Amino acid sequence: MLRIGLRMLRFRKGGFAATFIALFFGAALVMACGGLLETGVRTEVAPQRLAEAQLIVTGDQTYQLPKRDPNDEEEDTESATLAERVRLDRSLIDTVRAVPGVARAIGDASFPIALLHDGKPVGAQPVGHPWASAELAPYRIVAGTPPARPGEVVLEAPAQVGDRVDVLVRGAPEHLTVTGIAAPAHPIGQPAAFFSDADVQRLAARVDAIGVLAAPGTDLGALRDRLGEALRGTPATILTGTDRGLAEFPEALRSSEGLIALAAVIGGFSIMVAMFVVASTLGLSIQHRYRELALLRAIGTTPRQLRRMVLGEALAVSIVATGLACVPGVLLGGWLFDRLAGLGVVPGVVEFHQGFVPIIVGIGSGLLTALVAGYVAARKAGAARPTEALADAEIQRRWVSPVRIVGAALCFGGGIALAIVTMTVFEGPIAASTAGPSVMLWAVGLAMIAPGLTRLMIAVLRWPVRAVTGLAGHLAVLNARARTARLAAAVTPIMLATGIATANLYLQTTQSHAAEAAFTQSLRADAVLSSTTGGGLAPGLADRVRALPGVAGASEFVTSTGFVARPHDDTVGEDGWPLQGISADGVTASSAVEVTAGRLTDLRGDTVALPAGALGRGVGDTITLKLGDGAVLDVRVVALFTGTPGFEKMLLPVELLAAHTTLGLPTQILVAAAPGAQLAEALAGLVAGVPGVAVADRATLTAAYAEQQDIQASVNYLMVGMIMAYTAISVVNTLVMATARRRREFGLQRLTGSTRGQVLRMMSVEAVLVAAIGIVLGTLVSTTTLVPFSLVVSGTPVPHGPLWIYLAVVGTAGLLTMVATVLPTWFTTRTRPAEAAVSA
């Protein structure tokens, strides 16, 4: 049976081209996403500056979220990545050194510095490190001597021995003498500046990592075990092999989570769309071969044999399609990774990995897709009635069946359930997480009853279409009514494309808008001082700002992310709580929050302010926080405030929070003007004397935030774009296949006196009809997702975003339909009508 199937497959290549294309691109997309996923899971970063160390001891950046019931073995533990660098005590260097097999243990630290020229930071700025760590790269002294005393530094070329340089360290300028010039043995991404031990101990109290050089002949695995034993109970972890780069680039870990989520969502979406599209193209090819299948039944093929044949065909196509998809799959994966790295979603130092696993997953998902879709099509084929082989006309099948109605009802039930969940359970932007499944459920549900809906829509559109288009329209409507099922097959991909595009694009714009609104609302400052070098602001600067005339208040500002260790907290999960550090002295300037209990001015020492209702704690209670750098801290609640749903945060004293960030310093100072006072001039004057600090007004800040949102948005657009391109390919695919198939019909029509122009006009009207129905249904699909989401995020049922997006989606869908219908019609009517009419 399979041989007959394959033979028919070879003969009817055209009929399977659509399925082939859908599987080919679908598998490629899944492979690409698989590559991103693998890259994220591995997070391989080649070590650069610490490459010589065989083992690296560094702070463990992962955090196991506490369980609801610590004794419950069943409950899964969730792990999160800490937002700030987890540093180690210097004493651990000795602990490591004492472990047998360790030849050397060298502490490493990194701190941003800025070289000043004429009081201004310029060019690519080096990062400061202890001189001892130079041998881990290794760096060699090419001129001069290593730094030995405070105030001495070793730089890379083009600096020269003996130069006296002004350097901004921890926000404050220092005068240093260049004692030596170093050069790395291999290229390193960022220039380095090496400091003496005395300076390093002043600037970095703790170490970022400890590089281990093993004694010759030591078994590294065993050494690793011994180190693990020695470091038990400390926040240290041991990196080996390709993981070592993470000690230098811990931010790669956090970005990997984003990458994994993004790749999983898009990959999952691709599989769903592929299943949908392949089911519809296979269904179409079954419909086209219906007589042939009925003939096979008449001469003694059992339904089971037919089903096996159709399934076999689908599998054969998918094997070839997914096999060939490996090439574009790998290329696309690399391309997407480069785009994401370009957008800053992933640090460029992360190595892109697309091994055999994503390829196998891509092929496997392609085969699975073909199997599921093939099974649906095979069921239809198995139901072919033998007597239909003897009938001359193509017979219209029932346009709605109990199975379809039940299926549709299930999908709609799921869709409604998701909408209810979205509206009642979620708050703010995470409501978007139900959007993907919701769109698919509604789309599949509508697709199930598409023939019935199409019939209904045709009935509605019949009169206007006839009135406007005359005879061509009349014929098109008659065609459409006679062959609802065929029309419905063309309508479904358009519905899907319109639905997915509209829903996802407006989801993004609505979300960006809500985030921007929340930001603007919470920003009370009239001006903001920021560090331009990324090195943080020196202590004391805030006091100088407060002393300026016309300043009503000034607050230092820093942000981080943390977790609640006690009481049990299941509101934020692995994303953690956004933390903001503010000064109690200038609290009026910094925060627009509305206090409902306690006072923000009490934010001093180990204290916190919570959104009212969060954690069930009130003023005077104590909670335990796990801060971004891994520190666990008991803090007393001193105030409650009204939070923006979905954008909740905690407020902490800036001194407290800054100390637990990677930088260790506040990054901004928020300034509020006294009523009527103009601050710009005074602030500009102050900033002129402080290197590495810039002043910005409110609009600049909002714009900067919007830009940051745009980066996130463009990541989403990139990924949604991939899905949309794929869906568009499927639309064209299905339509071309459906149209080219009607060669004989066009031939007959022309033999009975239609001109070619009339046929083309008729098909144009049909295309408009198909596009209109698809767009209406697609809009319905997106509405079912967008309305609950908008209600949650912005409180109105109308999603936020420019109208032109919708118009562009509709226009593109319409244009695609038109071109994909009229062009094949034009091609198939090129031959003489008599020829076309006889060849079936």
Partner 1 sequence: MEDVVRLNAVRKVYGNQRTGVEALRGVTIGFPRGSFTAVMGPSGSGKSTFLHCAAGLDKPTSGTVTLDGQELTGLREKALTILRRERIGFIFQSFNLLPALTVQQNITLPLRLAGRKPDRARLTEVINRVGLADRRKHLPAELSGGQQQRVAIARALVTRPAVIFADEPTGALDTHTAREVLDLMLESVHRHGQTVVMVTHDPMAAAYAHRVVFLADGQLAGELRNPTADTIAERMTHLGAWADRSRTEKIGA
Residues 96-125 that bind partner 1 (CB under 8 A): none
Q: Does the protein bind partner 1 through residue 314 (CB under 8 A)? A: no
Residue from the set 224, 297, 353, 750 that interacts with partner 1 by CB under 8 A: 297
Tell me which stretch binds partner 1 (CB under 8 A): 3-11, 92-100, 106-114, 569-577: 3-11
Q: Does the protein bind partner 1 through residue 316 (CB under 8 A)? A: no
Residue from the set 70, 158, 187, 300 that interacts with partner 1 by CB under 8 A: 300
In whole angstroms, the minimum distance from the beta carbon of 374 to partner 1 comes to 19
Identify residue 363 by its one-letter amino acid code.
I
Bond into 303 cis (ω within 30): no
Tell me which stretch binds partner 1 (CB under 8 A): 5-13, 102-110, 194-202, 222-230: 5-13
**Closest to partner 1 by CB, 258 or 386:** 386
Residue from the set 73, 229, 392, 681 that interacts with partner 1 by CB under 8 A: 392
Q: Does the protein bind partner 1 through residue 755 (CB under 8 A)? A: no
In whole angstroms, the minimum distance from the beta carbon of 376 to partner 1 comes to 20
Q: Does the protein bind partner 1 through residue 299 (CB under 8 A)? A: yes
Tell me which stretch binds partner 1 (CB under 8 A): 124-132, 228-236, 301-309, 338-346: 301-309
Residue from the set 253, 298, 548, 748 that interacts with partner 1 by CB under 8 A: 298
**Closest to partner 1 by CB, 289 or 404:** 289
In whole angstroms, the minimum distance from the beta carbon of 400 to partner 1 comes to 18
Residue from the set 161, 264, 295, 791 that interacts with partner 1 by CB under 8 A: 295
Cβ-contact 31, 325 below 8 angstroms: yes
In whole angstroms, the minimum distance from the beta carbon of 3 to partner 1 comes to 8
Q: Specify the DSSP element, H or E, that contains 79.
A: strand 79-81
Residue from the set 292, 602, 655, 745 that interacts with partner 1 by CB under 8 A: 292
Identify residue 645 by its one-letter amino acid code.
P
**Closest to partner 1 by CB, 228 or 386:** 386
User: 161-200 burial, b for 16+ CB within 10 Å, e for fewer?
Assistant: beeebbbbbbbbebebebbbbbebeeebeebbbbbbeebb
Cβ-contact 668, 556 below 8 angstroms: yes
Q: What secondary structure does DSSP assign to 768-793, as a single string?
A: HHHHHHHHHHHHHHHHHHHHHHHHHH
The footprint of partner 1 on this chain (CB under 8 A) covers a number of residues equal to: 25
In whole angstroms, the minimum distance from the beta carbon of 763 to partner 1 comes to 26
Identify residue 322 by its one-letter amino acid code.
T
Least Cα distance to 826 among 763, 748, 751, 737 occurs for: 763
Q: Does the protein bind partner 1 through residue 303 (CB under 8 A)? A: yes
Q: Please state, in angstroms and rounded to a whole number, the distance separating the CA atoms of residues 443 and 323.
A: 29
Radius of gyration of the chain (CA): 33
Tell me which stretch binds partner 1 (CB under 8 A): 297-305, 462-470, 505-513, 762-770: 297-305
Q: Please state, in angstroms and rounded to a whole number, the distance separating the CA atoms of residues 458 and 451.
A: 10
Least Cα distance to 724 among 503, 521, 469 occurs for: 503
Tell me which stretch binds partner 1 (CB under 8 A): 26-34, 123-131, 288-296, 740-748: 288-296
Bond into 567 cis (ω within 30): yes
Tell me which stretch binds partner 1 (CB under 8 A): 277-285, 293-301, 584-592, 676-684: 293-301
CA atoms within 13 A on the CB side of 115: 23
**Closest to partner 1 by CB, 295 or 631:** 295
**Closest to partner 1 by CB, 382 or 445:** 382
Bond into 797 cis (ω within 30): no
Q: What secondary structure does DSSP assign to 25-57, as a single string?
A: HHHHHHHHHHHHHHHHHH--B--STTTT-SEEE
In whole angstroms, the minimum distance from the beta carbon of 301 to partner 1 comes to 5
Find where tokens 């987890």 sit.
86
What track of x and - describes contact with partner 1 for positions 372 through 391 (by CB under 8 A)? --------------xx-xx-
Q: Does the protein bind partner 1 through residue 302 (CB under 8 A)? A: yes
Long-range Cβ contact pairs of 418-422 (< 8 A, separation 24 or more) = 419/784, 419/785, 419/787, 419/788, 422/788, 422/789, 422/792
Tell me which stretch binds partner 1 (CB under 8 A): 61-69, 300-308, 729-737, 771-779: 300-308
In whole angstroms, the minimum distance from the beta carbon of 300 to partner 1 comes to 2
In whole angstroms, the minimum distance from the beta carbon of 11 to partner 1 comes to 3
Q: Which residues contact 839 (CB under 8 A, 6 or more apart)?
A: 743, 744
Tell me which stretch binds partner 1 (CB under 8 A): 1-9, 236-244, 342-350, 808-816: 1-9
Tell me which stretch binds partner 1 (CB under 8 A): 92-100, 117-125, 292-300, 476-484: 292-300
**Closest to partner 1 by CB, 12 or 462:** 12
Q: Please state, in angstroms and rounded to a whole number, the distance separating the CA atoms of residues 579 and 572.
A: 12
Q: Please state, in angstroms and rounded to a whole number, the distance separating the CA atoms of residues 299 and 321.
A: 32
Q: Does the protein bind partner 1 through residue 198 (CB under 8 A)? A: no
Identify residue 709 by its one-letter amino acid code.
Q
DSSP lists the bridge partners of residue 568 as none
Find where tokens 């509405």 sit.
783
Tell me which stretch binds partner 1 (CB under 8 A): 82-90, 291-299, 313-321, 810-818: 291-299
In whole angstroms, the minimum distance from the beta carbon of 296 to partner 1 comes to 8
Q: What secondary structure does DSSP assign to 422-465, as a single string?
A: HHHT--GGGGGGGHHHHHHHHHHHHHHTHHHHHHHHHHHHHHHH
In whole angstroms, the minimum distance from the beta carbon of 305 to partner 1 comes to 6
Cβ-contact 148, 160 below 8 angstroms: no
**Tokens at 410, concatenated:** 């299930």
Q: Please state, in angstroms and rounded to a whole number, the distance separating the CA atoms of residues 33 and 270.
A: 9
Q: Is 653 helix (H, G, I), strand (E, B) or coil?
A: strand
**Closest to partner 1 by CB, 360 or 751:** 751
Tell me which stretch binds partner 1 (CB under 8 A): 10-18, 125-133, 151-159, 772-780: 10-18
CB atoms within 10 A of CB 118: 7
Q: Which residues contact 832 (CB under 8 A, 6 or more apart)?
A: none
Residue from the set 287, 301, 561, 668 that interacts with partner 1 by CB under 8 A: 301
Q: Does the protein bind partner 1 through residue 8 (CB under 8 A)? A: yes
Q: Please state, in angstroms and rounded to a whole number, the distance separating the CA atoms of residues 640 and 615.
A: 11
Q: Does the protein bind partner 1 through residue 367 (CB under 8 A)? A: no
In whole angstroms, the minimum distance from the beta carbon of 456 to partner 1 comes to 24
Residue from the set 304, 599, 604, 832 that interacts with partner 1 by CB under 8 A: 304
Tell me which stretch binds partner 1 (CB under 8 A): 9-17, 117-125, 409-417, 576-584: 9-17
**Closest to partner 1 by CB, 124 or 840:** 840
Q: Is 239 helix (H, G, I), strand (E, B) or coil?
A: strand
Cβ-contact 106, 207 below 8 angstroms: no
**Closest to partner 1 by CB, 12 or 226:** 12
In whole angstroms, the minimum distance from the beta carbon of 719 to partner 1 comes to 41
Tell me which stretch binds partner 1 (CB under 8 A): 4-12, 464-472, 551-559, 567-575: 4-12
**Closest to partner 1 by CB, 10 or 120:** 10
Residue from the set 54, 305, 624, 783 that interacts with partner 1 by CB under 8 A: 305
Q: Please state, in angstroms and rounded to a whole number, the distance separating the CA atoms of residues 595 and 610.
A: 10
**Closest to partner 1 by CB, 6 or 265:** 6
Give the interface with partner 1 as residue ranges (CB under 8 A).
1, 3-4, 7-8, 10-12, 292, 295-305, 386-387, 389-390, 392
